Structure 1
Amino acid sequence: MNPLPALPLPGLAGFAHRWVDGIHAVDGGQPAGPAVVLLAGFPQTWWAWRKTMPALAERFRVLAIDLPGQGHSARPYDSYDTHTVASRVQAAVTALDVPQYWLAAHDIGAWVAFSLALQHEERLHGVALLDAGIPGVTLPESIPTDHRAWKTWHFAFHLVPDLPETLLTGRERDYVDWFLKAKSRSPFRRCGGQPLRRRDRRRGRAPRVPRLLPRCRGISTREPRRSRPAAPDRARPRNLQLPWIDPRHGRFPPPLGGRRDRRRHP
């Protein structure tokens, strides 16, 4: 069932909205081609991949998925831990008739992708984790309080019961704008170097607090039981290769303590 059949997809000819058990995806490209699944970060939706999707669609079937509680995906009423979210994403991909696929993910989408790779290695051709620290693997044990605090302060803030809702309700746009200003190389600019017009900002309305914060609490780095999905599985052998990009503007160490490889790749 498509609850928003008329929702426009500008610049994405051949793509369509799909919903599976409350999970929203934008699906397009080559139906018989190899599949690529894209997971965005925080505070983002599938729209973050809109400039990448047409190029991928020339060779691949492309699925850009909204994580639970983000974008047009429904908010679950039980767990938001990364293993559970990864299972929901995999169930949606399976329901959309994708037996195996390449997976690319950014920020907290990469947290989910890492868990997905641990649980469903046999379903993946490969994984790309883009500019993300992985809880229990590369993120610090505690939130920094020095000059790096601006990067991760919100993890702890989101965990405080009721206070974020009190401070942020009705001010969601200002809150998301801060992230765009502080963490974007070119704040409020669209991919491709074109200015982000006021109309675009209205179209990309910020999520409301009741949808925004429960997810952040569920996968915070300060909740060890949920935030360290990799720890119990580290002893299990893994053959999945995780190529990663170390860009000049990246902020995180290599996953799993791997060495930095600065060679050029095609």
Structure 2
Amino acid sequence: MSVQDRIAPDRPFPPVEGVSHRFVTVRGVRFHVAQAGPAAGDATGPAEAVVLLHGFPQHWYAWRRLMPELARDRRVFAIDLRGCGWSDAPSGGYDSAGLLEDVLGVLDALGLERVRLVGHQSGGWLGFRLCLAAPERFSAFLAVNSAHPWPRRRFGLPLYAWRYWYTALWEYPGVGRRVLRHWPALTRAMLRYWAGRAAGIEESAVQEFARACTAPQRARAGEQLLWQFVLHDIPALAGGRFRDQRLTVPTLVLLGDRDPVVRPQPLVGAQDFTEALTVRVVPGGHLLAEEIPEVVAAVAREHFGRA
């Protein structure tokens, strides 16, 4: 593993005040990391940094409004996952097990032994997998607009699975990459729909995320990310394979009351399987970190403080 700083990106980074960029190479893949906050050697900075994991079809820029809020008193690192943003997009390695190894490797390359974790949407799901696999690496976890692995059985997957209808157009092998590449209007429409009436997702950001998915290798990567979830994670979830796994990392799931995708009903009551998890609902849609970053930052500080 190696760390490389100040490498010229394939295309310019959208500017965010106080954010710098670096690349680390892990498992033969070059990962982009956006960072902000006190320098590593600053005595005023906390020992534990915050690591941010984005969802799909976004990248590190999804945290553009939250990073400055959190970086006031701590180091913050936003990782572009494999195939997303400015990270490399190899042909394979997009299953959750591979992504898990990617993130742990990036933490090692950055010299981060133990961190506070925040994940949005599919990045939140990956966060749960990380906390179950390597709990010693995470002191607290905030999952934003994300499902967890212990839904209440009486609600059933089919009752809420229809809310993910759009993934069928992005995930099917050979079809998803073509939709992402040649039909960016769908990506733009979904981002606007997720935010609803909120003004937090400005049009320039919508265009950025949609444009990032149109590059051939990134369209293929997006298809792979979603298809690997269908092949591995959905069967594990439906079969109840996580019910014997106990979450020990203090975790808070933060949901929007107007989120059209992730609804709170099947997620409340996970205490039957872990006492480390709570669910909180606030006003907002599916992109809370962009809609109400000050609220998300306040919730994160409160949760991290308790943890």
TM-score interval w.r.t. the shorter chain? Answer: 0.7 to 0.9
How big is each residue's C-alpha offset from its partner over 1:203-259, in whole Å with a ceiling of 9 and x where there is no partner?
442412223211111123xx2467638955643554222122244234243267237
Matched with 1:10 is 15
Tell me the distance in 1 between the aligned counterparts of 2:176 and 2:281: 40
Matched with 1:241 is 250
Tell me the distance in 1 between the aligned counterparts of 2:254 and 2:179: 37
Tell me the distance in 1 between the aligned counterparts of 2:69 and 2:197: 22
When residues 170 and 155 of structure 1 are mapped into structure 2, their CA distance, relative to the original with a 3 A threshold, is closer
Which residue, 150, 169, 188 being the options, matches 1:177?
188
Q: Secondary structure at the match of 2:187?
A: helix
Which residue, 182, 207, 213 being the options, matches 2:213?
207
Answer yes or no: is the 8 Å Cα contact 1:79–1:218 preserved in 2.
no
Amino acid aligned to 1:218: Q
Q: What value does the CA root-mean-square deviation take over the aligned residues?
A: 3.3
Q: Secondary structure at the match of 1:23?
A: strand
Answer yes or no: is the 8 Å Cα contact 1:15–1:29 preserved in 2.
no
For structure 1, which runs of at least 5 residues remain unmatched after alignment?
A: none
Tell me the distance in 1 between the aligned counterparts of 2:35 and 2:251: 24
User: Pairwise mapping of residues 46-195 of structure 1 onto structure 2 (< 5 A)?
Assistant: 46-134=60-148, 136-138=149-151, 143=158, 149=162, 151-171=163-183, 173-186=184-197, 189-190=199-200, 195=202
Tell me the distance in 2 between the aligned counterparts of 1:256 and 1:228: 19
Answer yes or no: is the 8 Å Cα contact 1:118–1:233 preserved in 2.
no
Answer yes or no: is the 8 Å Cα contact 1:158–1:164 preserved in 2.
yes
How big is each residue's C-alpha offset from its partner over 1:78-103, in whole Å with a ceiling of 9 and x where there is no partner?
33221220111111011111111100
**More helix, by proportion:** 2
Answer yes or no: is the 8 Å Cα contact 1:37–1:102 preserved in 2.
yes
Tell me the distance in 2 between the aligned counterparts of 1:159 and 1:11: 31
Tell me the distance in 1 between the aligned counterparts of 2:268 and 2:94: 22
Tell me the distance in 2 between the aligned counterparts of 1:87 and 1:130: 22
How big is each residue's C-alpha offset from its partner over 1:145-194, in whole Å with a ceiling of 9 and x where there is no partner?
x8x73x201334444332334555422x212112123222237x445xxx
Answer yes or no: is the 8 Å Cα contact 2:145–2:254 preserved in 1.
yes
Answer yes or no: is the 8 Å Cα contact 2:70–2:76 preserved in 1.
yes
How big is each residue's C-alpha offset from its partner over 1:124-152, in whole Å with a ceiling of 9 and x where there is no partner?
11001111123x533986555x8x73x20
For structure 2, which runs of at least 5 residues remain unmatched after alignment?
A: 272-277, 283-297, 303-307
State the 1:260 CA deviation.
Answer: 5.3
Amino acid aligned to 2:213: P
Tell me the distance in 2 between the aligned counterparts of 1:217 and 1:23: 21
Tell me the distance in 2 between the aligned counterparts of 1:14 and 1:166: 33
Tell me the distance in 2 between the aligned counterparts of 1:120 and 1:92: 14
Q: Percent identity?
A: 21
Answer yes or no: is the 8 Å Cα contact 1:5–1:17 preserved in 2.
no
Amino acid aligned to 2:224: P
Answer yes or no: is the 8 Å Cα contact 1:37–1:104 preserved in 2.
yes
When residues 206 and 238 of structure 1 are mapped into structure 2, their CA distance, relative to the original with a 3 A threshold, is closer
When residues 174 and 225 of structure 1 are mapped into structure 2, their CA distance, relative to the original with a 3 A threshold, is closer
State the 1:6 CA deviation.
Answer: 8.1
